[in-house]
Structure 1
Amino acid sequence: MTGNARLDLAIFDAVDIDTVGAFYAGLTGWDIVRKDGERFGLRTPEGQEIEFQRAPDHVPPRWPGQEFPQQFHLDLETDDPQAQVERAIRLGATRLADGPAWITMADPAGHPFDLCQADGVGPVMRLFAVTVDAPDASELARFYADLTGMRLVHDHPEGALITDGERNLMFQRVDDYNPPRWPDPAYPQQAHLDLVVDDLVTAQARALELGARRLSAGGERYRVFTDPADHPFCLVW
């Protein structure tokens, strides 16, 4: 695989991981695959995993502004978004806005997510994509496609999509984009990606060649970088 990297996890920060993890488990019907003091993990029927990591100083986003930007969000597919809105509110979500074919909500940790109309989904929601904000959606999509070997199936400056056939990453252009400056608490990350690699040295060289920047964090089994939009991500051995 190009770059010797594979999308493993999208990990969202939260103060109370048990509450937000239980919220998504109850709303989506996904399986709980990890639950400990630091992480709460869920797996979709298609095999994609989403985790929530404990961040005691987490500052939630305030969508749609860029003073406290969302940075990442989940696009969830369901047969009946309107019916699921009521369930989501009972479980602790907040309704934020209505779009042409989706409804934007905020989870109990404050992260926005979209309930998207899709036929034939059934009782368990489908994760269409983890969506990442960027000043240039096409540029960031190409960076991750080149790093992971995922296919670029939609490419436009306003929005781009890459896939490996099971996992989708979407990138959307955001005006007045305000990047995280991790680990600066004044400009915190909201989420990050973990990419699994077979060889950290080779994968690091590839990431740097493509435009990543290494941060002074990590350990023997992982290293931390920022992508061209300054989102932190980890290469994990």
Structure 2
Amino acid sequence: MHHSRLSNIVIDCEVDDLAAAAEFWSRALGKPIASADQDGDGKYAELATAADEPLILLQKVDHPSRVHLDIETDDLEAEATRLEALGARRIAFRERWWVMEAPTGHRFCVVQRQREAFGTRLNAWA
């Protein structure tokens, strides 16, 4: 058995200045900036969310801006396989997560658990 849940809402930003994008989305969503440069490389920023809300990340990208979802799991391979059985397909493995595509054409990621506690809104899969 493995577990998964919606983890992150990722705002992909094709911009030169991620800090300006973080400022806009912070004000637009009413969420303070938790980190303007999460890893010190200018690629990720995070808005503050409550423990029971999905994380809101901003990601600097080199493709057109869009929004995608991350599904977090305690078993990356089992969750990717489960989603393939539903019709998704694996696009690429990136460092520590799978980029996948839904049958509808939407891209999303399957990532390792993002928070220490999964919380109450957790799906269990056999």
Q: Match for 1:235 among 90, 107, 110?
A: 110
Q: Secondary structure at the match of 1:236?
A: strand
Instruction: Please state how far the C-alpha of 1:4 moved relative to its aligned partner.
Output: 2.4
Q: Are residues 235 and 28 of structure 1, via their aligned partners in 2, closer, same or farther at CA, if it must alter by over 3 Å?
A: closer
Q: Secondary structure at the match of 1:205?
A: helix
> Structure 1 residue 39 and structure 2 residue 38: aligned?
no
Distance 2:29 2:94 in 1: 32
Instruction: Please state how far the C-alpha of 1:31 moved relative to its aligned partner.
Output: 2.5
For the 8 Å contact 2:9–2:54, the answer to whether it is kept is no
* Aligned 1:123-202 pairs, distance under 5 A: 190-202=66-78
Alignment match, 2:122: none
Instruction: Please state how far the C-alpha of 1:41 moved relative to its aligned partner.
Output: 1.2
For the 8 Å contact 1:197–1:235, the answer to whether it is kept is yes
Distance 2:24 2:108 in 1: 25
Alignment match, 1:48: 54
* Aligned 1:109-120 pairs, distance under 5 A: none
Distance 1:48 1:200 in 2: 18
Alignment match, 1:9: 8
Distance 1:58 1:198 in 2: 29
Distance 1:27 1:203 in 2: 33
> Partner amino acid for 2:99?
V
RMSD: 2.2
Instruction: Please state how far the C-alpha of 1:191 moved relative to its aligned partner.
Output: 2.2
Distance 2:28 2:79 in 1: 36
Instruction: Please state how far the C-alpha of 1:236 moved relative to its aligned partner.
Output: 0.9
Instruction: Please state how far the C-alpha of 1:32 moved relative to its aligned partner.
Output: 1.7
TM-score (norm 1): 0.40
Aligned residues: 105
Q: Are residues 54 and 47 of structure 1, via their aligned partners in 2, closer, same or farther at CA, if it must alter by over 3 Å?
A: same
Instruction: Please state how far the C-alpha of 1:231 moved relative to its aligned partner.
Output: 1.3
TM-score (norm 2): 0.70
Alignment match, 2:98: 223
Distance 2:74 2:92 in 1: 21
Q: Are residues 216 and 31 of structure 1, via their aligned partners in 2, closer, same or farther at CA, if it must alter by over 3 Å?
A: same
Instruction: Please state how far the C-alpha of 1:48 moved relative to its aligned partner.
Output: 3.0
Distance 1:11 1:207 in 2: 19
1:57-101 per-position Cα deviation (integer Å, ceiling 9, x unaligned): 3435xxxxxxxxxxxxxxxxxxxxxxxxxxxxxxxxxxxxxxxxx
Query: Which segments of 5 or more consecutive residues in structure 1 lack a partner in the other structure?
Result: 61-189
Q: Are residues 230 and 23 of structure 1, via their aligned partners in 2, closer, same or farther at CA, if it must alter by over 3 Å?
A: same
For the 8 Å contact 2:18–2:60, the answer to whether it is kept is yes
